Amino acid sequence: MEDVILRTEGLTKAFRGFVAVREVSLAVRRGTIHAMIGPNGAGKTTCFNLLTKFLEPTGGRILYNGRDITRSSPADIARQGMVRSFQISAVFGHMTALENVRIALQRKRGDCFDFWRSERVLKRYDGQARELLDAVGILEFESVPAVELSYGRKRALELATTLALEPEMMLLDEPMAGMGHEDVGRIAELVKRMAKGRTVLMVEHNLSVVADLSDRITVLARGEILAEGDYEAVSRNPRVIEAYMGSGHA
């Protein structure tokens, strides 16, 4: 049997009568990179918000490692090992890159962020923080405030803080959004490295990135699953081609 780490059964979300996600049944296999794609308004980000409980579903179930997490809080889900990034980079702008990663590492102490503790106590995390910054290729910027980093390096920093939480599964919301060609290639390689030994579910508009990275793809349209399979299969699916016509992503 397939080793499924994340499964949804009939996942649905309605907003005052408008159904944004309808009966989505998804199965993400452990150790894979699974992409969720679709034209604008397809329900991808809503689906992400449901999976990580930033939104409550109207119907259906979410199972993570076989456990029903449909009513769990975002913090509970993160503690279980499923951690997400956001489409807009979420780092502390006026803290250095090192300090940002150090804060994430403090989670190991029981979710207590000791902003008021002495520098000596906080420095215990510096070695691990530098290893993570090196892993994402921005160690040389450890003393630079996050607000001064380029967009691509901010995204790399966010990935470092996500790794600091030691996730079993990572949910990446458009990790390449707004990047130039050079940054896209660098972050794509970084995602590939980060995926070793983990499971990744990502929303991404850049189809060349999806083709290169993904083991399996789920295509959403109007809140429903339109097609699933590897890139070759979904890219030739007539319904997928029709859904992308005129959307600017074909």
* φ and ψ of 117, to 5 deg: -75, 160
249 and 171 co-located in one domain? yes
| Residue 130: predicted pLDDT | 95
- Among 166, 184, 219, identify where a domain stops: 166
| Residue 105: predicted pLDDT | 87
| Residue 35: predicted pLDDT | 95
In a domain, 241, yes or no: yes
74 and 175 co-located in one domain? yes
CATH number at residue 53: 3.40.50.300
| Residue 123: predicted pLDDT | 80
| Residue 121: predicted pLDDT | 65
Name the nearest CA neighbour of 35 among 142, 239, 191: 191
Instruction: Identify the helix (H) or strand (E) that includes residue 201.
Output: strand 199-203
Other Cβ atoms closer than 10 A to 248: 8
Domain total of the chain? 2
72 and 196 co-located in one domain? yes
155 and 102 co-located in one domain? yes
- Separation CA 156–CA 221 (nearest Å): 30
| Residue 115: predicted pLDDT | 53
- Among 166, 185, 215, identify where a domain stops: 166
In a domain, 38, yes or no: yes
74 and 180 co-located in one domain? yes
108 and 224 co-located in one domain? no
* φ and ψ of 82, to 5 deg: -110, 110
In a domain, 86, yes or no: no
Name the nearest CA neighbour of 170 among 213, 201, 212: 201
In a domain, 231, yes or no: yes
58 and 97 co-located in one domain? no
159 and 201 co-located in one domain? no
SS3 197: coil
160 and 174 co-located in one domain? no
- Separation CA 235–CA 230 (nearest Å): 9
4 and 65 co-located in one domain? yes
113 and 161 co-located in one domain? yes
- Separation CA 219–CA 44 (nearest Å): 9
- Among 143, 166, 189, identify where a domain stops: 166
In a domain, 182, yes or no: yes
- Residue ranges, the chain, pLDDT below 70: 1-2, 86-90, 107-121, 245-250
Q: Tell me the residue range of the domain where 152 lies.
A: 91-166
